[in-house]
């Protein structure tokens, strides 16, 4: 049974950055209600009513996974680990974005699947790219050209696909008997631990736990045999999945992760009710801090036009009443406006200057990288604000 525990209110599509704020473009902005639920049977946390993927993954998709050094390095390292461990003949990635992971493999060994046409365009000359949504039909199409695949990788994508049956049946069609499916996604334990409620937005249809992943894949003749904690995106899990009959033994570290999730109550609805209270408090604290700074005439901006910020801004009703603008290094976000709250987005070269007193860390998951890069801002008295794990000024 699905039980709702958190309502983050009226939200736009997190990646629908507006090119203008003309009457016409404001009138056509799409909104939905972001309500989060817990399935008491398989322990899966999900967006109650997912948005249609056709309006999310278009040829205007904004996110480029290569934008941060942290992610470029993380994917390089992961590619090298997986190559050594599984020695795959072919690697297929579901949701290959701008190719940041696959470019670490020899071109001829790689198959990319990326439904956003603008992103698929970026990699199609480097390696075989299918500009399609992942589903059973596509798995069959690929099988006509290739043999079964022994490494399937997918980072920050499986959580985005509402239809789990299509996802995993497609994978079961194409994975070889010795094959491994490696999935990375933000973990539910981290979201609960650090109160990162902004991991909930339209694209994150699911925020998985190992408990939920184990239950889901077993429905499709697959088996979760290993999992490990990784630090990306504020705390993620990397899941290792194989065919049910495969030789891989379930690992001790998987048992440990599953036990830990039971201990923190990821199988218990009460945990999520408690979390929802913390989320409400976080909103109150953030708005009151911003109000206080504004009353002192401080100039506040936001750093990183993240999808996560879409949730925070719309839930907390933060717009140009508090923030002058948002800075972001991504070319195709600059000159646009944030979804729902319509704050202008500018490049850091233009916006991250001496006039800024406070910068809200929209990209809090890259705190280390950003604080290192922005030493001069901090030196001259500039301050960062975060809401994760709690609302505070970082360098008081």
Q: Does 307 bind ligand JHZ (CB under 6 A)?
A: yes
Specify the residue, 116 or 216, whose C-beta has the smaller distance to ligand JHZ: 116
Specify the residue, 88 or 339, whose C-beta has the smaller distance to ligand JHZ: 339
Q: Does 332 bind ligand JHZ (CB under 6 A)?
A: no
Q: Are the C-beta atoms of 199 and 206 separated by less than 8 Å?
A: no
Size of the site for ligand JHZ (CB under 6 A): 21
Q: Are the C-beta atoms of 40 and 199 separated by less than 8 Å?
A: no
Neighbours of 200 (CB within 10 A): 26
Specify the residue, 189 or 199, whose C-beta has the smaller distance to ligand JHZ: 199
Q: Does 203 bind ligand JHZ (CB under 6 A)?
A: yes
What does the radius of gyration of the chain's CA atoms come to, in whole angstroms?
21
Q: Does 308 bind ligand JHZ (CB under 6 A)?
A: yes
CB of 252 to ligand JHZ, least distance (A): 29
CB of 165 to ligand JHZ, least distance (A): 21
Q: Does 51 bind ligand JHZ (CB under 6 A)?
A: no
Q: Does 134 bind ligand JHZ (CB under 6 A)?
A: no
Neighbours of 148 (CB within 10 A): 15
Bridge-based pairing state of the strands 45-47 and 128-130 = unpaired
Stretch that binds ligand JHZ, among 141-149, 168-176, 260-268, 359-367 (CB under 6 A): 359-367
Neighbours of 282 (CB within 10 A): 22
Share in percent of the chain as helix, strand, coil (round to 5): 40, 25, 35
Q: Does 200 bind ligand JHZ (CB under 6 A)?
A: no
Cβ burial, residue 278 (10 Å; 0-12/13-18/19+): middle
Half-sphere exposure of 179 (CA within 13 A, CB side): 21
> For ligand JHZ, which residue of 18, 328, 342, 359 counts as binding (CB under 6 A)?
328
CA–CA distances in Å: residue 335 to residues 122, 181, 344, 356: 22, 39, 7, 19
Alpha helices in 97-209 (DSSP H): 117-123, 136-145, 164-174, 188-194
Name 361's bridge partners: 303
Specify the residue, 71 or 241, whose C-beta has the smaller distance to ligand JHZ: 71
CB of 343 to ligand JHZ, least distance (A): 14
Which residue's C-beta sits nearest to ligand JHZ? 304
CB of 221 to ligand JHZ, least distance (A): 27
CB of 304 to ligand JHZ, least distance (A): 3
Q: d(Cα 241, Cα 180) in Å, to the nearest integer?
A: 6
Q: d(Cα 90, Cα 92) in Å, to the nearest integer?
A: 7
Stretch that binds ligand JHZ, among 114-122, 220-228, 298-306, 383-391 (CB under 6 A): 298-306
Per-residue x/- track, 57-96, ligand JHZ (CB under 6 A): ------x---xx----------------------------
Stretch that binds ligand JHZ, among 35-43, 99-107, 176-184, 328-336 (CB under 6 A): 328-336
Q: Are the C-beta atoms of 86 and 109 separated by less than 8 Å?
A: no
Q: Does 190 bind ligand JHZ (CB under 6 A)?
A: no
Per-residue x/- track, 225-244, ligand JHZ (CB under 6 A): --------x-----------
Find how far residue 268's CA is from the centre of its chain: 24
- Interface residues with ligand JHZ (CB under 6 A)? 63, 67-68, 156, 203, 233, 304-308, 328-330, 333, 363, 365-366, 369-370, 373
């Amino acid at each position: 049974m699905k039980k709702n525990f958190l309502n983050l209110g009226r939200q736009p599509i997190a990646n629908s950055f507006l090119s203008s704020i003309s009457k016409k473009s404001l009138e056509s902005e799409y909104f939905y209600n972001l309500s989060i639920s817990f399935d008491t049977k398989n322990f899966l946390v999900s967006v109650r009513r997912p948005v249609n993927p056709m309006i999310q993954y278009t040829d205007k998709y904004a996110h480029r996974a290569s934008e941060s050094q942290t992610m470029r390095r993380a994917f390089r390292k992961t590619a090298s680990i997986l190559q050594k461990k599984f020695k795959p003949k072919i690697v297929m990635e579901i949701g290959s974005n701008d190719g940041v992971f696959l470019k670490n493999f020899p071109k001829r060994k790689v198959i990319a699947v990326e439904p956003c046409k603008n992103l698929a365009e970026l990699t199609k000359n480097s390696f075989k790219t299918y500009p399609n949504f992942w589903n059973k039909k596509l798995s069959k199409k690929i099988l006509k050209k290739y043999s079964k695949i022994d490494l399937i990788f997918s980072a920050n994508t499986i959580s985005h696909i509402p239809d789990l049956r299509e996802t995993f049946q497609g994978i079961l069609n194409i994975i070889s008997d010795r094959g491994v499916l490696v999935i990375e996604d933000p973990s539910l334990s981290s979201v609960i631990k650090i109160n990162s409620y902004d991991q909930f937005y339209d694209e994150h249809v699911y925020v998985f736990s190992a408990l939920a992943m184990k239950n889901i894949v077993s429905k499709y003749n697959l088996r979760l045999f290993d999992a490990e904690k990784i630090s990306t995106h504020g705390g993620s899990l990397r899941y290792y999945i194989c065919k049910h009959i495969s030789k891989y033994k379930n690992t001790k570290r998987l048992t440990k992760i599953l036990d830990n999730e039971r201990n923190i109550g990821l199988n218990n609805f009460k945990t999520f009710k408690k979390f929802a209270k913390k989320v409400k408090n976080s909103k109150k604290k953030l708005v009151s801090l911003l109000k206080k700074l504004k009353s002192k005439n401080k100039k506040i901006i936001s750093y990183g036009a993240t999808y996560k910020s879409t949730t925070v801004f719309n839930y907390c009703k933060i717009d140009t009443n508090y923030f002058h603008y948002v800075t972001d290094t991504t070319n195709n976000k600059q000159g646009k406006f944030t979804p729902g709250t319509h704050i202008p987005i500018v490049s850091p070269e233009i916006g991250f200057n001496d006039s800024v007193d406070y910068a809200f860390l929209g990209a809090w998951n890259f705190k280390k990288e950003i604080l290192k890069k922005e030493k001069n801002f901090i030196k001259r008295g500039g301050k960062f604000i975060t809401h994760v794990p709690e609302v505070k000024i970082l360098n008081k």
